[in-house]
Amino acid sequence: MDILALAKQQQEDIVKNRRYLHEHPELSQHEEETVAFVCKKLEEYGVSYINVPKGGVLGFIGGDENSKTVMLRADMDALPVQENPNNLKGPKTCVSKVPGAAHVCGHDSHTAMLLAAAKILQEHKDEIDGRVMLFFERAEEAGGNILYLLRYIYEHKIRVDGVFGLHVKGNLDAGKISLQSGGVNAGGFGFEVSIHGKGGHGSAPDKCNSPIDCFAALYHAFMSIPVKYVSAKEMLSFNFGKVQSGSKRNIIPDQLDFAGGMRFFDHAVGVKGKEIFLRLLDGVCKTYECTYEVTNSVGPTLPLVNNPQCVDIGLAAFAKDIGQERLTDMEREVGSESFSAAQRIYPGAYAFLGIRNEALGIGAPNHSAEFDIDESVLYLGTAMHISYALAFLQNTQEIHHEPYPGSPDDLYREICYKVN
């Protein structure tokens, strides 16, 4: 199978499908028309599929339930962003038609690239040494809906031997491919906290107990966590995104609300960071005779960790099928990725495809209103899916991976991620 040539033949359809999805974005939890579009395309291609409520779409190509199986993933949801019709230099070729919603992360291209891979693989299913599972995920930006797909696979005892996903990157040159071992996306711990003190008039602070004073001490204590409690060989970042209290200069408030988060590449570091955060929160509030309430928290969620053997399979396949000259390394991303849950359960690899073209004004970061895609390289993403799938299925070496011992629901309870 000439993977690159077959992918190039689908370039026009990839762009067409990507533009349709881009013009009709749907936010997390609301991807009904997007799911219908994916299902219609799979029907056209003759691919059997299952529409999992709230989760997304699973498709199956080649083999049977006993065959060695590789899962290929694409996410489908958009972001609540008002898109700028211009990129960094001028008008975009395609703009959202839905006010306040836009595919400024690239999920439209992910779906289009995997649909093209599905079409090619279905047409060449007799050349597949096993089975390919398609994994179209809803609500990746919300982070939790992947559980519905993983739960369905677990409860129906569907065989999965390995997984693969990819993401377009606005800070990587168009056509370049990055696939690296270890942690490539961070895990996170997010928190929202209310501190309760005793309010009163600014003329009598001795009769009050300001939660602002308490927070000032908490701020310095929290900012010491990455330095004092985490080894210099490890990484943990800490941020505040919200601090709100008071209404007038001469009124001492009785409540302060703050929110923020941590990021890390080692889940054990995230667990430790959360434990220290809660210990400091409790201790400082007691010292200042305030009470507190953690009104919302998520995590520590999982970093996305690439299996070294899966990376080796992918790099060798990409060099052979797509070209060694396209391979490069990029800095690890501190953003989080829901696919980390799948890669905790199954051995896998997650790659990045560059879509930056400064001559065309394309180079704004993912999630920004100016984000744009050099569509001319999207066929490479289709080729990456096919290349990895065939190489993984043909691999005869044992993949070393310690699978998660419980169910997907157990995993989500462990990382304190609540899914309705």
Residue pLDDT, tens place only, 61-87: 999 999 999 999 999 999 999 999 999
Average pLDDT, rounded, for the chain: 95
> H or E segment at 134?
strand 131-137
* Full-model pTM: 0.91
Give residue 82's Cα distance to chain centre.
Answer: 21
> H or E segment at 291?
strand 291-298
Q: Residue 258: its pLDDT value, please?
A: 98
pLDDT tens digits for range 238-273 = 999 999 999 999 999 999 999 999 999 999 999 999
Cα angle, residue 269 at apex, residues 264 and 272 outer, rounded to 5°: 130
Range 314-333 average pLDDT: 95
Bond prior to 300 in cis (omega within 30° of 0): yes
Q: Residue 414: its pLDDT value, please?
A: 87
Do residues 29 and 139 lie in contact, with contact meaning Cβ atoms separated by under 8 Å? Answer: yes
Backbone dihedral angles phi then psi of residue 44, each to the nearest 5 degrees? -60, -35
pLDDT tens digits for range 115-151 = 999 999 999 999 999 999 999 999 999 878 999 999 9
- In this structure, the number of other CB atoms found within 10 A of the CB of residue 391 comes to 21
CB burial of residue 355 (10 Å; 0-12, 13-18, 19+): buried
pLDDT tens digits for range 97-110 = 999 999 999 999 99
What residues have CB less than 8 Å from 120, skipping those under 6 apart?
6, 7, 10, 382, 386
Backbone dihedral angles phi then psi of residue 135, each to the nearest 5 degrees? -135, 85
Q: Residue 420: its pLDDT value, please?
A: 61
pLDDT grade for 304, boundaries at 50, 70 and 90: very high
CB burial of residue 330 (10 Å; 0-12, 13-18, 19+): middle
pLDDT grade for 32, boundaries at 50, 70 and 90: very high
Cα distance between residue 258 and residue 243, in whole Å: 4
Q: Are strands 236-245 and 255-264 parallel, antiparallel or unpaired?
A: antiparallel
Report the greatest alpha carbon distance in the chain.
83
